Amino acid sequence: MKGFGIGLIIIALLIGAVIGGAFFIVDETKQVIITQFGKPVGKPIKEPGLHIKIPFIQQANYFEKRFLAWDGEPSQVPTKDKRFIWVDTYARWRIKDPLLFFQRLRDERGAQSRLDDILDGETRNVIAKHLLIELVQGADKRIPIEAIEIGIGKAKTAFSESAFGREDLQKEVLQAASERTENLGIEILDFRFKRINYVEEVRREVYARMISERKRIAEQYRSEGAGEAARISGQKERELKVIRSEAYKKAKEIKGKADKEAARIYAQAYNKDPDFYAFLRTLETYRRALASNTTLILSTKNDFLKYLKTGLSGR
């Protein structure tokens, strides 16, 4: 009896294992390929839910349905103008055809390795066909050449007028890589340059030239400032001379008018009493011409001595 009970337990376990191995669950994020003795059978299972397979003979292989990330290794790449730069890239991809993916790549590790070859290779090919400034400038394709070509030693115009920009190069890499992954069952959704930088040797040269360029620009600003200061100073001096000239002119006009008025008053007074006017003018002349130690030698007939000779009594 005891042996019979053990047998029943073993049979129940075997039945449970068979039944359990016959069912598998597919969730929303997965897609499944059924293989029989290592070879795929049937169509890919993409609908979520409970599914059946032959236990022990068939095996369910799960693959991601969601977007997957590819992160490239930073690498040194030469541009068309022979500038060596470090480029760091990344991409997003998904398993589009799980059956073809399984047949060609087997799993995600194989896919990542294949993407390394494809995306790195296409990145090098595209960068080698374009100038550094085309790799750096954005969608408007107008970037100051000084910002990029200080390290190159060129300054043709104020802005670059290249027809290509970073987005265009990313599209080129994406298109070229997508053509090579069509027969792998995967789809590259997006490709981006994560970081672009000079190699260390070129970076030191660029920094030195940038410092030199900034010093040149600063000296130019100082020179322009000194010229502007000289212009302002000269303009100030001219304005001061104009103001002084106008003031001198106005003062002369006022003085002329005053002299004219004084002469009119003198003439009016002279006309009223010419003798008294002559007497006052003579006394003023005496006060100016004669000092305490002044000696005059004049003829007695000179009109200048008329009032001195006659004195006040003669008046």
- Express each pLDDT in 66-94 by its tens digit: 999 999 999 899 999 888 889 999 999 99
Query: What's the pLDDT at 162?
Result: 65
Q: Round the average pLDDT of the chain to a whole number and report it.
A: 81
Q: Between residues 48 and 303, which one has the greater pLDDT?
A: 48
Query: What's the pLDDT at 165?
Result: 85
Same domain for 203 and 72: yes
Q: Mean of the pLDDT values across residues 192-219?
A: 86
Query: What's the pLDDT at 144?
Result: 56
Same domain for 47 and 105: no
Residue numbers of the domain that contains 86: 68-212
Residue 265: inside a domain: no
Number of domains in the chain: 3
Query: What's the pLDDT at 150?
Result: 45
Query: What's the pLDDT at 157?
Result: 43
Residue 11: inside a domain: no
- Express each pLDDT in 293-306 by its tens digit: 777 676 666 666 66
Q: Mean of the pLDDT values across residues 20-30?
A: 82
Same domain for 98 and 206: yes
CATH number at residue 128: 3.30.479.30
pLDDT-wise least confident of 38-47, 69-78, 151-160, 304-313: 151-160
Query: What's the pLDDT at 156?
Result: 43
What pairing do the DSSP bridges indicate for beta strands 39-45 and 68-71?
A: unpaired
As a whole-number percent, the residues of the chain with pLDDT over 70 amount to 78
Residue 299: inside a domain: yes
- Express each pLDDT in 269-296 by its tens digit: 777 777 777 777 777 777 777 666 777 6
Confidence category of residue 203, pLDDT binned at 50, 70, 90: confident
As a whole-number percent, the residues of the chain with pLDDT over 90 amount to 43
